[in-house]
Amino acid sequence: MTDYASQGKTRPFNVVDLNSCRNHLSYYTALSRSATCEGTVIVQGFDPSKITCGASGYLRQEFRELELLDDITKLRYNGQLPESINGQLRNSILPLDLHLTCGCGPVLCMACMSPFCGSQMLNNI
């Protein structure tokens, strides 16, 4: 059974072919349909790098931006958001320079949160 065919089904015996899975999400979909570990049969080998090599750069960036949006929402709710950060849409709230400058405070600045790049390093560029 492919990952697509297994969506929404829980099976006591789940025979899966992980070679047809494109990424870790497909692995999860196919394997999570098993009712038990004992009832899961993987019919052939699979590429372990799809589940062991870590998140892509795009996914890591997405998580960083979601954390920033969460912090912005909390500050806005508490009335502590600087007036310089305004807008209703993601692209107007998270401009590129928000990640590169330290004018927005340590809570919202990616440079201040990075162990590799502090505000002194940014001033030297």
Q: Give pLDDT tens digits along the chain (125 positions).
A: 555 666 667 888 889 889 888 888 888 888 888 888 999 999 988 888 888 887 778 888 899 989 988 988 999 999 998 888 888 888 888 765 544 444 455 555 555 554 433 333 333 33
Which phi and psi angles does 42 have, rounded to 5°?
A: -95, 120
Alpha carbons 125 and 90: distance in angstroms, whole number: 28
DSSP 79-91: T-S-TTS--SSHH
Alpha carbons 110 and 32: distance in angstroms, whole number: 35
